Chain A
């Protein structure tokens, strides 16, 4: 075996130029593919994280009818949750939220607004809400925090008074006057144009719904581990009028746009790999054509075709491995860099991203799966292309080979 590896290794370096060209083309495609997938997966993680933190949680507990009909009457008493033990190593944290809609007015301007009653302290850790504050104070006893876009539309500033009007629990009229204590700026346009955050008790009071919440949002260690945890929580919730949903169930559009983008990315990669595949095949072709005489000699003096095949297979493996390794080594520092310093978009690109409701940044994911995916893809292609040299060896005729 050592001899095979020695032979194969030296054979790989026989035509240095060809080896470098082949390995470099593999390295380039692995490099490109890793960067592309890293930015894709990074964006997905970012979108999932944003959506989960601001809206749904990775898991959400609601009254059973809430998701179908998101009205205040389908909220539930948070007391029901206090009785349960939701601690689990996979669960990072959970927050209660009460949401509703209302008309917000100031002076002669009126706009529809989404109201979020939250525990400001917990929310600071869950959705990093405090980081969105651009003006005023975050901690407020009975005031409201307004999204910057909505505040501008209503011509509101910190210290101004806002009137909220809507429908409370079981059809009760809800109306109140609140002081704007802070302005929040969101990267996501939907939030920035319509969100108002209030302390949970303040909103419960406005809606005449003491102790009621519409959701309890849970953040998991791993955003993909939702099914298992869902089942776990379902057993805990047994007998209650409560249900648990995963972010995938609550955000089907996000799931399908991620899938579309991911498979779209693979289409690009497959095209790239087909091109690279031709190059690899050319090398394999030369590896055999140039050496027919030599392979004939090996077979003649008593090296079985099986052994010749093993030798060439090891050569192929070494060549591919070299290329993949180079690609991974090139991609790793760049991914590491962009992973800790996401690319911030500006100008038209940023506007376009915001228009679609995304943060205008390109985060990179640091995930072993990326390297694994590309490495496996290249090896599968090489394995497929290696059929040719293996068959050529099998069909080798000594006397013909020796005449070359």
Chain B
């Protein structure tokens, strides 16, 4: 089943002043259960592409379908509601709400979804276990390592039971040990629970773990391989 379908997608920044064509005519689909890396040199358009897939930014041309639903015409608040229900996000750093503990951060998204307290409790406990951060549950982000913070962020993204998880350079701020640990967890979730991950990266070790590698240069797909 296709979870993401992009047709002739383009993004032009500053169309009135100095136009920058950050994404140029990208057509792409992602199926359920993929573990896909978007790679390419700095400035090639990885972030721009992920932002449009995630409904954080709107395209200049072309269409974005998520689970068969076109998000092109959605209003801002419709998009926000859509992101909440269907898309999990992990950003490069400082993903978490600083004043909430690890557990509260995971539960926060479920509160936004109006999930009942019992389910919420069960899911957050389960996620804390699976991410190996049970002992850090009552710590605030400032008391967690970068790797632990990213694992909490993945847990939060999964707590919402999204169709897929988007991660823009999730390991960019991590040391190699933490990078390995985070990738292990993501790969395991993908393998055992068929969770779809689409992430961007510069890092060769991360690229090596991907099951599909889409290479962008100057906003265009130059290769799409499944090693």
Q: Which residues of A contact B (CB under 8 A)?
A: 3, 7, 10-11, 14, 293-294, 297-307, 398-399, 402
Contacts and interface: CB of A to CB of B under 8 A. Distances in A.
Contact of A7 (B85, B100, B109): B100
Nearest to A8: B99
Contact of A294 (B97, B111, B156): B97
Nearest to A308: B80
B5 to A, nearest CB: 22
A297 B91 contact: yes
Contacts of A3: 108, 111
B83 interface: yes
Given A3-B108, A294-B94, A398-B56, A304 B99 contact: no
A302 B112 contact: yes
Given A11-B99, A302-B112, A402 B81 contact: no
A126 to B, nearest CB: 63
A303 B97 CA distance: 12
Interface in B48-72: 51, 54, 56-57
A298 B96 CA distance: 9
Nearest to B88: A301
A376 B82 CA distance: 40
Contacts of A303: 80, 84, 112
Interface of B: 51, 54, 56-57, 76-77, 80-81, 83-85, 89, 91, 94-95, 97-100, 108-109, 111-113, 156-157, 160
A328 to B, nearest CB: 28
Contacts of A7: 97, 99-100
A93 to B, nearest CB: 62
Contacts of B94: 293-294, 297
Nearest to B87: A302
Contacts of B76: 305
Nearest to A291: B98
A127 B57 CA distance: 79
The 9 tightest CB contacts between A and B, nearest first, are A302-B84, A10-B99, A304-B80, A302-B83, A398-B56, A399-B57, A3-B111, A301-B89, A304-B77
7 contacts: A297-B95, A301-B83, A302-B83, A302-B109, A302-B113, A302-B160, A304-B80
B4 to A, nearest CB: 17
A16 to B, nearest CB: 13
A300 B111 contact: no
B97 A306 contact: no
A307 B112 contact: yes
Contacts of A399: 51, 56-57
Contacts of B99: 7, 10-11, 14
B98 A14 contact: yes
A261 B54 CA distance: 62
Nearest to B160: A302
Given A301-B112, A307-B112, 7 more contacts: A11-B99, A294-B97, A297-B95, A297-B97, A300-B83, A303-B112, A399-B56
A402 B97 contact: no
Contacts of B160: 302
Contacts of A297: 91, 94-95, 97
Nearest to A398: B56
Contacts of B97: 7, 294, 297-298
Contact of B80 (A14, A293, A299): A299
A303 B83 CA distance: 9
Contacts of A298: 97
B84 A301 contact: yes
A58 B81 CA distance: 64
In this complex, the member of A3, A14, A307 whose beta carbon has the largest number of chain B beta carbons within 10 angstroms is A3
Contacts of A302: 80-81, 83-85, 109, 112-113, 160
Contact of A301 (B57, B77, B100, B156): B156
A376 to B, nearest CB: 30
Given A7-B100, A301-B109, A307-B112, A402 B91 contact: yes
Nearest to B85: A302
Contacts of A398: 51, 56-57
Nearest to B48: A399
Nearest to B52: A399
Nearest to B76: A305
B219 to A, nearest CB: 16
Contacts of A402: 56, 91
Nearest to A394: B76
A304 B81 contact: yes
A25 B70 CA distance: 51
A294 B98 contact: yes
A303 B84 CA distance: 7
A402 B57 CA distance: 12
A299 B81 CA distance: 10
Contacts of B51: 398-399
Nearest to A401: B56
A2 to B, nearest CB: 9
Contacts of B112: 301-303, 307
In this complex, the member of A7, A11, A302 whose beta carbon has the largest number of chain B beta carbons within 10 angstroms is A302
Contacts of A301: 83-84, 89, 109, 112, 156-157
Contacts of A11: 99
Contacts of B80: 299, 302-305
